Amino acid sequence: MLFSRPNEAQLQRVNQTNLVFFLQEFTSGPNATVVPVIGITGKTWSFVTFGTIFAIDDAITQTPDRSSARVGRAQGVLVASALDGSNVSVTISIVFNNVDYSGSTLELQGTIHQNERYREVSVVSGTGRFRFVRGYAILETIYYERATSYTIIRCTIELIYN
């Protein structure tokens, strides 16, 4: 189950629910899922160079295990958006392709400080099963393997339905 069933107290107050899943990310190599596509001429395109724009398409799994059930993909754009290189702006669609929510999306947007452990962005809304929802997402890097630039990011989302 992707969703935890809301308890009675929650149902009476607001229709709130949460979901947890994991982004499988490679930032270099032949199977990179985050790739710089443009940046300032003459500078190294990187997460800490203002103006660098990345395309992202991470697989999303149900547990941290790379081979666990796929629930969708995280597709969108990242921009090194702070002049001093400290922040990245995130515009990502969570595109579900699991049985329950196939074709539905959640739209994540915000600016994150790269060195923070818990990075928070808005869930501005969604499509399909997630029409009219809103909430927030917490992104936490739980695993990093330097040799292969392999990263696992836990994404915890709190949603309110009206």
Ligand X SMILES: *[C@@H]1O[C@H](CO)[C@@H](O)[C@H](O)[C@H]1NC(C)=O
Integer Cα distance of 31 and 115 in angstroms: 25
Cβ nearer to ligand X, comparing 41 with 115? 115
Say how many CA atoms lie within 13 Å of 107 toward its Cβ: 9
On whether the CB atoms of residues 56 and 92 are closer than 8 A, the answer is yes
128 belongs to the binding site for ligand X (CB under 6 A): no
Smallest gap from residue 100 Cβ to ligand X (A): 18
- For the chain, the straight-line distance linking the first and the last C-alpha, in angstroms and rounded, comes to 22
Distances from the Cα of 115 to the Cα of 10, 58, 88, 89, 144, angstroms: 33, 20, 10, 14, 14
Q: Which stretch binds ligand X (CB under 6 A): 46-54, 82-90, 96-104, 132-140?
A: 82-90
Smallest gap from residue 121 Cβ to ligand X (A): 9
Largest CA-CA distance found in the chain, in angstroms, rounded: 58
162 belongs to the binding site for ligand X (CB under 6 A): yes
Structure-block tokens of residue 102: 């196939």
115 belongs to the binding site for ligand X (CB under 6 A): no
Q: What character string, x for contact with ligand X (CB under 6 A) and - otherwise, covers 10-29?
A: ----xx-------------x
8 belongs to the binding site for ligand X (CB under 6 A): no
Enumerate binding residues for ligand X (CB under 6 A): 14-15, 29-31, 82, 84, 86-87, 111-113, 162
